Structure 1
Amino acid sequence: MANASAKRIASQNEIAIRNLQLGMIICNALYFVIRLLHPSRSFPPSLSQFTIYVLTFLPSLFLAQHLRTTGRPRRDPVTGTLISSGEDLDARGVTEWCWDVIYVTWACQVGSALLGEWFWFGYLSIPAFACWKLYTKVIGPMFLGRGGPQNTETTDAVEEDKAAPSEGLSKRQQKMQKRERKGEQRVKHR
């Protein structure tokens, strides 16, 4: 059963890596082809335009290489059997953010070639998103506490649970409710 899951992840990763490579080639080629064919765009791009392009291309190249190396499945060279499926490239968290940065870079490259240099301001969505995540995951809970304004729905549910009678519950279930109210780590939510 686990082998089937590893094979599925490996095939999805191979497709994602192939699409990543194709996307890198197409978007970067489009940037220069549109500039060459579009009458109001300068070709070759000015030094400032090319500097912005390179400064945004390098992080996307680094992230694409990271996704390729971590997601590439390893196979036995002799038999071709799957040794490792690689990291799941559809995973949430950092892998998802790598894809987001690459997609924003591609959109800014093609958009700036089509619509103008002001389109590079879309790249500011990356640090804005990072600041928002930092605020909601670290700064907000640190200074506003666990039951700050962002968790009013959760605190209302906990207060309702406290007010609800514990009739019909076993002693074990009552203990688990008390532990959950205290916020103990060993209580598992299902």
Structure 2
Amino acid sequence: MANASQKRIASQNETAVRNLKLGALISIALTILFRLLLRRGILPQSKLALFVFVSTGGVEALLLRYLINIGTVKRDASNALVSAGEDLSQSGITEWCFDVVYITWLCQVSSSLFGERAWLLYLVIPLFACYKAWGFISPMLGLGRSSQSAAEESAPAGESKRQQKLRQRAEKGDPRVKQGKR
């Protein structure tokens, strides 16, 4: 089965696309239902809340369209697999798109239940981006030290990693290390 991985990706993508569509419909339905029952109107009352609602809905729509487009499985007339699409379970940008969509759904539904302050949950996205960026930028600025550079500084100069391990084993009295005179 040379095509087994493509079939697995296609199956996962079909499930993910179906779940995205279903999640979007459920989120919209719950938001409208809760706003009608609890808030006496579908749209938020303040202009700022309306702006946030519309702008985040636009971001959600763009990301949903992107994820659905790259994850859609293409088949020919005989239902044979032509393309499995991009792997939607991969890390990186795809994973972040899913995160933004999920947070948007959470904010939409919770704002209809608990009020417009629930949109403050959306601040998790830029805070997480800053956290990730700091992990990338801080070593460039010399503010963070990796554990590898700390280990290299503590080892004597000219000693390879293998030699460091052997020296550490010998210090512990490991019987695997031959203790000979050099």
The change in CA–CA distance for 1:154 and 1:106 in structure 2 (over 3 A counts) is: same
Structure 1 pair 24–165 and aligned structure 2 pair: CA distance change class (3 A): closer
Q: What's the Cα RMSD here? A: 2.2
Q: Which amino acid aligns with 1:64?
A: L
**CA 1:58–1:166: 2 relative to 1, 3 Å:** same
**Offset, 1:165:** 6.7
- How far, CA to CA, are the matches of 2:69 and 2:36 in structure 1? 34
Moved over 6 A (4+): none
Kindly indicate whether the alpha-carbon contact (under 8 Å) linking 2:138 and 2:144 is maintained by their aligned counterparts in 1. no
TM-score w.r.t. length of structure 2: 0.80
Look up the equivalent residue of 1:86 and give its one-letter code.
G
1:64 aligns with 2:64: yes
Identity %: 44
Q: Report the Cα distance in structure 2 between the residues aligned to 1:37 and 1:51, rounded to whole angstroms.
A: 22
Tell me by how many angstroms 1:47 deviates. Answer: 4.9
**Are 2:127 and 1:132 aligned?**
no
Q: Which residue in 1 is equivalent to 2:122?
A: 123
Tell me what 1:98 maps to. Answer: 97
Among candidates 147, 155, 158, match of residue 149 of structure 2? 155
State the Cα distance separating 1:116 from its structure 2 match.
1.1
Match of 1:143 among 130, 134, 141: 141
Deviation digits for residues 32-60 of structure 1 (CA, Å, limit 9, x no counterpart): 1101112xx24143252332211111111
Q: Which residue of 1 aligns with 2:176?
A: none
Q: Deviations over 1:7-65 (max 9, x none)?
A: 01001100100000000011011111101112xx2414325233221111111110010
Structure 1 length-normalised TM: 0.76
Matched residue type, 2:63: L
Aligned to 2:16: 16
Q: Which runs of 5+ in 2 are unaligned?
A: 167-182
Deviation at 1:156, TM superposition (A): 3.5
Report the number of matched residues: 160
Distance 1:165 1:95 in 2: 38
CA gap of 1:150–1:110, structure 2 versus 1, over 3 A, is farther
What is the CA-CA distance between 1:155 and the residue it aligns to? Answer: 2.3
Alpha-carbon offset, residue 132 of structure 1: 1.7
Q: Deviations over 1:69-124 (max 9, x none)?
A: 10111111x22111111000000000000000001000101111111111101101
